[in-house]
Chain A
Amino acid sequence: MLPTHTPRVLRTASRQSLKTAASKSQVFARSSRASPRPQSQSRSHSYSQPYRAYSSAAAPTARLNIPIDYATTPLLAHTARTALNNPELPPSITRGGGGGSSGGGLTKRMNLYQAINDAMSTALAEDESVLLFGEDVAFGGVFRCSMNLKDTYGGDRVFNTPLSEQGIMGFAIGLAAEGMRPIAEIQFADYVYPAFDQLVNEAARFRYRDGTNKRHVGGLTTRMPCGAVGHGAMYHSQSPEALFTHIPGLRVVIPRSPIQAKGLLLASIRCNDPVVFLEPKVLYRAAVEQVPVDAYELPLSKAEVLKSGADITIVSYGQPLYLCMNAIRQAEQDLKGAGKNGHFSVELIDLRTIYPWDKETVLASVRKTGRCIVVHESMVNAGVGAEVAATIQEDAETFVRLEAPVQRVAGWSTHMPLSFEKFVLPDVARIYDAIKTTMNY
């Protein structure tokens, strides 16, 4: 019996340690503390010894792979003005007062988990068929996403389930099939596989097989923390999104920031198709921005051009967008004059919805730039990058405009090893190099 039990024990133990770490707000502080930069060192007040990082430290000599400074990145809205200057937000949010909305024009500083909490609170308040459950959600969740929701909306609508992913998913499907709008939480995306049968064979196919009976589980939203976190190793780091993009019937969404998380999650909850909503856990506390206080939706299946450029298109989603932004900044400086008309600029696109994805925005961009790089954490083989690259070469109008092969900068085809994380993930240096290689092709 022992050999078969060992992995479970390990899983529980490592899960527990992450839970504890997360609830003590240390998980992400650790990664920044690992930085050699002076301001990070000064933050390590709760440890007598500087924290020894497993893999997230940058070399002291690094010019490219320096830690992301979320406090200054242009991907986050650091002021209310920037937050509201978003053409996708409705006028009632951006102008204030419109439509009798009390919070119009108002924003609040939130990190990613607070924005998710805010979206779920809105959903629970506006529709009594919305329920929230999973492992440990009642006390606020191991990442604090469901804080105070049980107290506000009651234990019948916000509750813990037994520790069983297939049970959580099957239960959620049954609720949705009877007209409720369940939000099911899987504690880590790494643990979604026991629920895979329910998601693939049941949730995704429910409407299709029901035909004119017209029942569906469109009310279902499945949330799960995903992505690398600095020390998550094999079972607290995974990005399984490509597995879901191969399943007709599911929508797959990954936000990059608090504003996006709130708008996309609300849209996902209200959407009448089952949505798999992946939350980059490394951003839960790190990504902080001004978020409109009123409820709003951001469109599903719509990519966003974060930065326009003329020479290369970079397509990414989730946390790597921050790396892309840094790589672009350095490349644009170093490759000045290498592009069209004596300039050099890179276009950055956030897919946001991984499936069904916004081909038009990507194809239009690549037709303009003639070059494309796709960046994601999950392994390169049959990843989202494969689909994007294939679509680009398949589109006759885009194919003839290509000036270089489409490059994929992604995780290697391995599992995530604890001590080697920084060598597995795409980082600023690899993205920077891909930009140079693609330009020099």
Chain B
Amino acid sequence: RRYGGSLSQKPDSNFVSFPGAVKSVFTNTLKFEMPSEYPAMPTYRVIDQHGVAIDPTFEPDLSDDEVIKLYRDMLTVSIMDIIMFDAQRQGRISFYMVSSGEEAACVGSASALTPGDVVFCQYREQGVFQQRGFSMKEFMGQLFANKNDAGMGRNMPVHYGSTRLNIHSISSPLGTQLPHAAGAAYALKIQRMQNPTADPRIAVVYFGEGAASEGDFHAALNIAATRSCPVVFVCRNNGYSISTPALEQYRGDGIASRGLGYGIDTVRVDGNDLWAVRGAMTKAREMALQDGGKPVLLECLSYRVGHHSTSDDSFAYRAKVEVEDWKRRDNPISRLRKWMEAKGTWDDGKEKEARDSIRRQILKAFNEAEREKKPPIRALFEDVYEELTPDLHAQMKQLKSHLDKYPDEYDHTAHS
């Protein structure tokens, strides 16, 4: 009996049938492959920083209104960032993370997906939530951990999640969601094999270039490739992981160069260019569904304009002028705005109206969320298991009698 994976060496073959690398040709030259001898992978761009299309074949595949919707999504995220960052500084929420500089990478890539596609995020993807239809009430409910929070007030702010929108809940450990996405993609593939009438779906996972140093990155790309999973890995390479610059994170050509090593089709794009990101994701989605499914890696280059989080002062490790330069020179929002203005679909008046109405909408949701009660205290015991265990039931009773015994020591009026 011969097994599927078995190989035979043909006599005098000029390549080796070693099972570990079946297409390797013999050479009589001892030569090490040097990363420095390979050019950096190019960065795909559609629109330059002046808003001018540099890809002559480029035709927008969206109506003017649809483009404006995406633009407003990016604006919404950036305005919410300013308001919530200040709210944290005033002590009204405990924590926040801005996405400035990465609005296009998120909104642009999410816009190329279908609602059924399953998304996993790291934490700096508010644009994905906004583009897919997360409501301002949902954002604020989570940020204030009030009773409208799907996470029942159990998670830190910015750890959003939505079953309705097929976005998995965010967790803090970095990189863990990467193999989840591979597994979810395999589930989608198997489910479609078992029910061929189901719509084709992919899984998409976002992560930063720092998270790509975790073992889970390696595990995920390798298993996704070997199991042929329809998943798109989207790396937001913004140059920093908290204080660590990318050059202390890796010595290779970014994250994109690694994709090839796993046998994964890869592209690097300008993450400040909504059209480039959208175009790349549209194609990546199509490729991920080809040949029964396969993974694709997309590296979006951008710059983390904001601090890492509200617990970080980034000027302790990078110059303010560097940040100001990035803000002025290139910005995903202003780039799309310039393109729209050149096309005649946007102007200063529309800009002002959009900013004012978005700001009003955010502040309204903010004020409502701040006044809302917190989830009931019993929620702290629920959902550890499907059912409350006898232990948890007993502990819940213990806490209740403790609260009854010391009513002046705790404020339960805040909870519903």
Contact = CB atoms under 8 A, between A and B. Distances in A.
A binds B: yes
A432 to B, nearest CB: 33
Contact of A128 (B162, B194, B226): B194
Contacts of B151: 209-211, 213
A170 B384 contact: no
A159 B386 contact: no
Nearest to B223: A167
Given A210-B150, A210-B151, A210-B161, A164 B219 contact: yes
A82 interface: no
A175 B187 contact: yes
Interface string B17-46: 000000000000000000000000000000
A194 B219 CA distance: 11
Contacts of B190: 131, 156-157, 180
Interface in A354-380: 356, 359-360
Given A162-B226, A213-B150, A214-B163, A174 B181 contact: yes
Contacts of A251: 385
Contact of B152 (A172, A180, A212, A273): A212
Given A210-B150, A210-B383, A215-B163, A167 B179 contact: yes
A170 B187 contact: no
B179 A173 contact: yes
B184 interface: yes
A389 to B, nearest CB: 17
A212 B152 CA distance: 7
Interface stretch (A44-52, A197-205, A421-429): A197-205
Contact of B173 (A179, A202, A216): A202
Given A211-B150, A212-B152, A178 B226 contact: no
A276 B150 CA distance: 27
Given A178-B188, A214-B163, A198 B386 contact: no
Contact of A356 (B163, B193, B216, B389): B389
Interface string A279-320: 000000000000000000000010000000000000000000
B379 to A, nearest CB: 8
A249 interface: yes
- Of B162, B176, B185, B222, most A-chain CB atoms within 10 Å: B176
Nearest to A178: B187
Given A171-B179, A211-B151, A218 B386 contact: yes
Contacts, number: 157
Given A198-B176, A210-B161, A213-B162, A172 B389 contact: no
Contact of B385 (A156, A180, A201, A356): A356
Contact of A175 (B154, B186, B215, B391): B186
B327 interface: no
Contact of A180 (B176, B187, B227): B187
A211 B163 contact: no
B118 interface: yes
B162 to A, nearest CB: 7
A89 B276 CA distance: 62
A175 B183 contact: yes
A64 to B, nearest CB: 37
A209 B154 CA distance: 6
Interface residues of B, number: 49
A207 interface: yes
Nearest to B162: A213
A272 interface: yes
A170 B193 contact: no
B169 A161 contact: no
A352 to B, nearest CB: 15
A161 B171 CA distance: 25
B110 interface: no
B149 interface: yes
A166 interface: yes
A201 B184 contact: no
B373 to A, nearest CB: 15
A248 interface: yes
B350 to A, nearest CB: 36
B257 to A, nearest CB: 20
B159 interface: yes
Given A162-B223, A162-B226, A177-B184, A213 B176 contact: no
Contact of B227 (A159, A176, A205, A359): A159
Given A205-B171, A213-B151, A249-B384, 16 more contacts: A156-B193, A161-B223, A161-B226, A164-B223, A167-B179, A170-B178, A198-B176, A201-B176, A208-B154, A213-B163, A213-B169, A214-B163, A215-B161, A215-B163, A273-B386, A359-B391
11 contacts: A156-B190, A162-B223, A174-B179, A178-B188, A198-B179, A210-B150, A210-B161, A210-B169, A210-B383, A211-B383, A356-B389
Interface of A: 128, 131, 156-157, 159, 161-162, 164, 166-180, 182, 194, 197-198, 201-202, 205, 207-216, 218, 248-249, 251, 272-273, 301, 356, 359-360
Pairs A-B, 4 closest by C-beta atoms: A174-B183, A170-B179, A167-B219, A174-B180
